[in-house]
Structure 1
Amino acid sequence: MKSTITTIDCQKFTNQLLALAGRCRSNPYQDLDNFLLECHSLVQELPDELIHAIKHFSYKTNGGCLLLKSLPSDSKIYSFKYQEKYQLNSKSPRFFYSEIFLGIIGQNLGDVVGVEKRDIFQDVCPCPGHEMEFSATSSQVALQLHTEKMFHPYTPDFLLLSCIRPDRERKAETTIVNAENIYQSISKKHQDLLSSKIFYPKLDLPYIEQSMVYSVFYEYQNRLSIRFNVDFLTSPNSYANESLHQLNITVNTICESVYLDKGDLLIIDNRRCLHGRSRFVATYDGFDRWLQRIHVIEDLSSVPTKYKRDRFINYKKDKI
């Protein structure tokens, strides 16, 4: 099977990247528009090797994930708790390396957006009481392999994860698997069922049309794509539900794992890959694992004006 993850060591670009970061003067939590404009102005000033790798990735000819290792990061380690997330960032003394490189690299791929959230830069860290939930804020259970915003009419094309601080026991791994490898690993019977529009959502959110039927595998921009979360799909067809069960076994068997260390940035093609996370130990002392996440849509102009405001997409079902 073809590896899902392509890796580039960015340590050799440290001086050049530090110089770029120093040209971003705005605070992303106090002046987001200017901050992103500053990032956008630097898009073509990344090292040529990085620009080529990101462009190659955007053409969807690789495995679906690009890992940029060892980008510049803050040398200090700041306390950060989930409960403080809405107060901390605008007051934090840290330099915004994570936000800067998410902003520059994200805008190499398309438009950085907030999908059903007011946050462009979303902090991901464990939260007390969420230990056993299917949520990015869990810790004691694995986050199952899934598609980000899988039922949203404007599903993000790319998901970027930046590691500000890993877990102290170094056990939290990000799991990845791409659609091509999954499809090749299941039987023709399951391929046919999972490519049929016979699946319904099992949850109700403002942007989900309950009458819509979905397929797990579909074609997008002439590439095999996937939407999947074993807990959020069902079908009246018992054979289709058995296919979902077998698919879940398969994805967990063939997935790859990558440990995100400080300064690492993982770019995921959200339509071609599923992602998840292994379980780990959280202590809630302010020094747990801390990632940042952004969503990217290749072309924001494709979203109708009534569903967007500036960089934010807020889709609501039309009332009958």
Structure 2
Amino acid sequence: MDNIPGTKELDRGIWEVTLTDRVSSACGDVLDALSRSFETADDPMFLRRAVRHASALPAEVLDVMDELKYSESVASLVIRNGPVGEAAYPTPAHWRERDPKATVHQDFWLAVMGSQLGDAVGWSSLQDGRLFNDVLPMPGQEEEQTGHSSRTDLQLHVEDGFSDDRCDALALLCLRNQEEVTSTIVTAPQLDFSQLDLDVLFAPRFLIKPDSEHLRRAGADRPTTETPARPVLFGARESPYLRIDIPYTEALPGDLQAEQALDELRAQVAERATVLRLAEGDLLLVDNYRALHGRGTFRARYDGTDRWMRKLTVVRDLRRSRSARRGPQGRAISHFRRPEG
């Protein structure tokens, strides 16, 4: 990344790039063209061709995204001075109340950038199966461990860690953050794995449960509450991948050794997390295998000025979730899905 202009490493595995005005303007031209050709960024025909459309982005942007996709040393990336800014519409009180026209350019920006990391996917158990999700405070959920809380820290986690079909990466675009609510990141390169009990952490001795937002949906496609035992580290022992959702992960009942190993991992995660302040238009990209993300507390006002993020999740191998997405007759039956075209 050092050879790409405008980039700097904020901490181990966490990089920042500030686009020049020229590059940002060129990205904006791409978004303008897309909005003339497609009404929305979840148009199935656009999604199939998103990678092709992204090729019109400046080389400086594509080079940065290549580093995030292919370099194991880059686990999280913040892109500043992008082609979109603060939302022109007030922050909605509920994700169902978002005006469809409110985030057209923002969603195309999320989609073309996400396409460099994989295929966009969504969950039917989240926000009525919408591909692009709203992360905003909601009344009655102030204390929950979801993206709709405010009075409590959203603790560090991988996205949808309970599922084998979780995303490979996620993109969070800041639409409004007047109070400078902090985001937190901790990456695998920041952790000292030599001080952890890898034999235990690599073993299926932990339960990772779905969060309340997934479980709130009723119906046949609701995620199961029967949680199988999983490891919280996997991959190469010299450079592990992460699978931990701090508030929803626990050792198997009675396994004191696993509980101690998990506590030691949690302590490192808490001690080494990096605090980020995202401004309107900033894009945060997270490798869901190499980094955990979270958010600090804030006072929600519910007056249209609260923090508002748009989120998109992507997978590198869409076939990995094929059996979960489609039944024998080709009918979508799962909580994990992508709009069909």
Structure 1 gaps of 5+ residues are none
Q: Give SS of 1:42's match.
A: helix
Match for residue 174 of structure 2? 163
1:102 to partner: Cα distance: 0.6
- Cα deviation for residue 62 of structure 1 reads 2.2
CA separation in 1, counterparts of 2:117 and 2:237? 15
> What is residue 145 of structure 1 aligned with on the other side?
156
Q: Is the 8 A contact 1:198 1:213 kept in 2?
A: yes
* Superposed counterparts of 1:84-233, under 5 Å: 85-90=95-100, 92=101, 94=102, 96-116=104-124, 117=126, 118-166=129-177, 168-170=178-180, 172-184=181-193, 187-188=195-196, 190-202=197-209, 206-208=222-224, 210=226, 212-219=228-235, 224-233=240-249
- Measure, in 1, the Cα distance between the counterparts of 2:302 and 2:31: 30
Deviations 1:141-194 (A, max 9, x none): 11000111101121100011001111x221x1111111232243x624x33322
Over aligned residue pairs, what C-alpha RMSD do you find?
A: 2.7
Closer, same or farther in 2 for the Cα pair 1:223/1:207, shift >3 Å? Answer: farther
How far is the alpha carbon of 1:238 from its aligned partner? 1.1
Report the counterpart of residue 22 of structure 1 in structure 2: 32
Residues 154 and 294 in structure 2, CA contact (< 8 A), matched pair in contact too: yes
CA 1:211 to 1:283, structure 2 compared with 1: closer, same or farther past 3 Å? closer
Equivalent residue number for residue 290 of structure 2: 272
Compared CA separation, residues 220 and 265, structure 1 to 2 (3 A): farther
SS of alignment partner, residue 115 of structure 2: helix
> Which residue in the other structure is 2:15 paired with?
6
Alignment check: 8 A CA contact 2:242 2:291 kept: yes
Alpha-carbon distance in structure 1 between the residues aligned to 2:302 and 2:225: 37
Contact 1:164 1:263 in 2 (8 A): yes
Shift of 1:200: 2.3
Q: Deviations over 1:196-222 (max 9, x none)?
A: 221124559544473622111101799
1:291 is aligned to 2:291:
no
Greater shift in the superposed pair: 72-81 or 50-59: 72-81
Q: Which residue matches 1:259?
A: 277
Q: CA 1:263/1:38 → structure 2, altered by over 3 Å: closer, same or farther?
A: farther
Check whether the contact 1:227–1:271 (CA below 8 A) recurs between aligned residues.
yes
* Mapped partners of 1:43, 1:238: distance in 2: 50
Residue in structure 2 matched with residue 49 of structure 1 by the alignment:
60
- Residue identity opposite 2:204 in structure 1: K
The AA in structure 1 aligned to 2:334 is N
The number of aligned residues is: 307
The question of whether the paired residues in 1 share the 8 Å contact of 2:186 and 2:291 is answered with yes
Deviation of 1:81 (Å)? 1.7
